[in-house]
C-alpha cells in the first residue's frame, strides 16, 4: 500500500515532531497558569491530582490523538471521518473535530491577551522599571496595565499578527527553527531562576506548599480544574496534537515520543512553580492572587537579584516565545481544515481565522476594564472562555477521542499505528476504553451539583 502524505507537509524527523509538539505543550499553561491555579487551589494536593491526571488520562489520550492524525494525514475533522469510514462506523464522530476548532478559537482569544502582557513586560523589564521594585510597586504596575485597554490592545494585536505570520509560513518553516534553539534556552533560564529562589528564605515554605499533600484541602472543583489543566497543558482535547500527528514521519514510535513530550511539559511546570512560590513567600505575597501571580512575583525577584534586569528581560522574551509556539498550534488545525475543505490558500485561511480570533480577543481584554460589569454565570468574558474551554470542552473532547480510539477504531489498526508491544497496547486500550472516560465522567458529574 502506498503510504499517505499530508498535503500540508511532514516534519523532517521524529525529533522535530517532538520539538514542535513540546513547543505547543509548553507555554503560558506551564509558566503562567499552572502556578496561579496551584496557588488558588491550595498547593500540594492539587499538584498531585494534576500529576495523576497527566499520567492516567493525558498520556493515553495523547497517544490516541497522534495515531489518529498520522493514520489519516488530514486535519482533525477529516481524519476522524476517514478512520470512521475505514471502520464502517458513523462519521458523526467528526463533530468532535468541530468542537475542537471552536475550542481553539476560544482559547486563542484569551491566550493572546495574556501573551500580550508578556510582550509588554519584555519592554518594562528591559527599561529597568522593576530594578529594586517592592511587591506593592509591582502590583500597581500590573493593575495599571489591566486598567489600560489601549496598551493591552496594542500588544494583543502584535501577538496575533506574529502568530498568523508563522502559520502562513507553514509547518516546516519558521516553527521548527524557533523551537530548536529557544525552547532549550527557556529551560536554562528557568533553572537559573530556580537557583535564585532556592537562595531566598521562602524556599522551604514554597517547596512544602507545592509538595505537601493533604486531601482535606481538596474540593471536587479543584479536581476538575486539575483535570482540565492536564488537557490544557498537553494541548489535548481540541485536535492540536492530531493535526501535528498528521505531519509525523511514519517510522517514529508513538509511545516513547508521547512520554518524552509529557515529561518535558511536566518538568517545566514544576520548575516554574518551584521558582515562583519561594519568591511569593519570601516577600509575604499571596499565593492565591490569581492570574497576576507571575506578573507580580517574578518582577520583584528580578528586581532584587544581581543582573536581574538582563535575566528578567531574557526570561520574558523566552516566555513570549513559548507562548508563540503554543498559539500557532491553536490555529493550525482550523487552518488545515479550511485549506482542505474550501481549497483556500494558506495565506487566506490564516488571515481570515486570525481576524476572527483577534476580534474575540478584544472582548477578553475589555473584561478587565470597560466591560468588567458584564458577567455570565458570574464570570467575565476572560474567565468564561478560560473556564469553559479548559474545564468543559477539552475534557469532553478528550473523552470522545478516547472512546473513538478505543471502541470505534479496530484493535488491529491501533496496534499497527502506535507501534508498542502487545502488552502495553492492552494497558493503553483499557485506559482509553474505561479509565479515562469513567474518570472524566465522575469528575463532571460531581461538579454538577
Residue recorded with cell 460531581: 446
Q: Between residues 200 and 233, which has the closer beta carbon with respect to ligand TRP?
A: 233
Choose the stretch contacting ligand TRP; rule: CB under 6 A; options: 220-228, 231-239, 300-308, 416-424: 231-239
CA distances in angstroms from 338 to 79, 91, 111, 160, 342, listed in the order given: 14, 19, 22, 19, 6
Q: Tell me if 225 contacts ligand TRP by CB under 6 A.
A: no
Q: Give me the sign of the Cα torsion angle 436, 437, 441, 442.
A: negative
Size of the site for ligand TRP (CB under 6 A): 16
User: Taking a C-beta distance cutoff of 8 angstroms, is the pair 100, 334 a contact?
Assistant: no
Nearer residue to ligand TRP within complex by CB, 245 or 303: 245
Q: Does residue number 235 form part of the binding site for ligand TRP (CB under 6 A)?
A: yes
- Name the residue nearer to ligand TRP (CB basis): 104 or 149: 104
Within 386-425, which residues bind ligand TRP (CB under 6 A)? 394
- Does position 75 interact with ligand TRP (CB under 6 A)? The reply is no
Cell numbers describing residue 407: 471502541
Say if residues 240 and 66 touch (Cβ distance below 8 Å). no
| Stretch of 19-27, 114-122, 183-191, 211-219 lying at the interface with ligand TRP (CB under 6 A) | 19-27
Q: Which residue's CB is nearer to ligand TRP, number 36 or number 196?
A: 36
Q: Is 107 in the site for ligand TRP (CB under 6 A)?
A: yes
- Number of helices followed by number of strands (H, E) in the chain: 22, 0
Q: Which span (27-35, 47-55, 176-184, 338-346) binds ligand TRP, by CB under 6 A?
A: 27-35
| DSSP 8-state assignment for residue 379 | B
Say how many CA atoms lie within 13 Å of 442 toward its Cβ.
7
The single residue among 233, 297, 363, 414 that binds ligand TRP, judged by CB under 6 A, is 233
Residues in 297-356 that interact with ligand TRP by CB under 6 A: 326, 329-330
Note whether 28 binds ligand TRP by CB under 6 A. yes
Q: Which of 25, 84, 367, 402 binds ligand TRP (CB under 6 A)?
A: 25
Q: Burial of 415 by CB count in 10 Å (0-12 exposed, 13-18 middle, 19+ buried)? A: middle
State yes or no: residue 163 binds ligand TRP (CB under 6 A).
Answer: no
Alpha-helical regions (H) of 283-345: 293-304, 308-342
Smallest separation (angstroms) from ligand TRP to the CB of 128: 28
Cβ atoms of 149 and 371 within 8 Å: the answer is no
Interacting residue with ligand TRP among 22, 197, 240, 401 (CB under 6 A):
240
Angle between helices 175-199 and 149-169 (to 10 degrees): 130
Torsion angle of the four alpha carbons 29, 30, 31, 35, in this order, in degrees rounded to the nearest 10? 90
**Residues near ligand TRP, by CB under 6 A:** 24-25, 27-30, 107, 232-233, 235, 238, 240, 326, 329-330, 394
Amino acid at each position: 500500500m502506498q503510504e499517505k502524505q499530508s498535503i500540508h507537509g511532514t516534519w523532517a524527523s521524529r525529533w522535530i515532531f517532538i520539538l514542535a509538539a513540546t513547543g505547543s505543550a509548553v507555554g503560558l499553561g506551564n509558566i503562567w497558569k499552572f502556578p496561579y491555579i496551584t496557588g488558588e487551589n491550595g498547593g500540594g494536593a492539587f499538584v498531585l491530582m494534576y500529576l495523576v491526571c497527566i499520567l492516567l488520562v493525558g498520556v493515553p489520550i495523547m497517544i490516541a490523538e497522534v495515531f489518529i492524525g498520522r493514520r489519516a494525514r488530514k486535519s482533525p475533522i477529516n481524519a476522524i471521518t476517514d478512520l470512521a469510514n475505514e471502520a464502517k462506523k458513523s462519521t458523526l464522530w467528526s463533530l468532535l473535530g468541530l468542537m475542537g476548532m471552536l475550542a481553539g478559537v476560544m482559547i486563542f482569544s484569551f491566550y493572546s491577551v495574556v501573551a500580550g502582557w508578556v510582550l509588554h513586560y519584555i519592554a518594562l523589564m528591559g527599561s529597568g522599571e522593576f530594578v529594586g521594585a517592592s511587591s506593592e510597586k509591582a502590583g500597581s504596575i500590573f493593575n495599571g496595565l489591566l486598567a489600560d485597554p489601549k496598551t493591552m490592545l496594542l500588544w494583543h494585536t502584535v501577538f496575533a499578527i506574529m502568530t498568523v505570520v508563522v502559520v502562513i509560513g507553514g509547518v516546516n518553516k519558521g516553527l521548527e527553527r524557533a523551537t530548536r534553539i529557544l525552547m532549550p534556552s527557556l529551560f536554562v533560564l528557568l533553572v537559573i531562576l530556580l537557583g535564585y529562589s532556592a537562595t531566598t528564605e521562602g524556599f522551604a515554605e514554597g517547596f512544602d506548599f507545592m509538595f505537601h499533600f493533604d486531601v482535606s484541602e481538596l474540593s471536587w472543583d479543584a479536581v476538575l480544574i486539575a483535570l482540565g489543566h492536564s488537557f490544557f497543558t498537553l494541548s489535548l482535547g481540541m485536535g492540536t496534537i492530531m493535526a501535528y500527528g498528521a505531519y509525523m514521519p511514519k517510522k517514529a514510535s508513538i509511545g516513547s515520543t508521547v512520554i518524552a513530550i509529557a515529561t518535558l511539559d511536566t518538568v517545566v511546570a514544576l520548575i516554574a512553580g518551584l521558582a515562583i512560590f519561594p519568591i511569593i513567600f519570601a516577600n509575604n505575597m499571596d499565593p492565591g492572587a490569581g492570574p497576576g501571580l507571575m506578573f507580580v512575583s517574578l518582577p520583584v525577584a528580578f528586581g532584587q537579584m544581581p543582573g536581574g534586569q538582563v535575566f528578567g528581560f531574557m526570561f520574558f522574551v523566552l516566555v513570549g516565545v513559548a507562548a508563540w509556539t503554543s498559539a500557532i498550534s491553536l490555529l493550525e488545525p482550523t487552518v488545515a481544515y479550511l485549506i482542505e475543505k474550501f481549497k483556500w490558500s494558506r495565506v487566506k485561511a490564516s488571515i481570515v481565522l486570525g481576524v476572527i480570533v483577534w476580534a474575540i480577543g478584544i472582548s477578553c481584554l475589555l473584561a478587565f476594564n470597560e466591560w468588567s460589569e458584564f458577567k455570565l454565570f458570574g464570570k467575565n468574558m476572560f474567565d468564561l472562555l478560560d473556564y469553559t474551554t479548559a474545564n468543559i470542552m477539552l475534557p469532553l473532547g478528550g473523552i470522545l477521542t478516547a472512546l473513538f480510539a478505543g471502541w470505534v477504531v479496530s484493535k488491529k489498526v491501533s496496534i499497527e499505528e502506535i507501534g508498542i508491544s502487545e502488552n502495553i497496547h492492552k494497558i493503553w486500550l483499557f485506559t482509553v476504553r474505561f479509565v479515562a472516560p469513567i474518570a472524566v465522567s465522575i469528575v463532571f458529574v460531581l461538579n454538577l451539583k
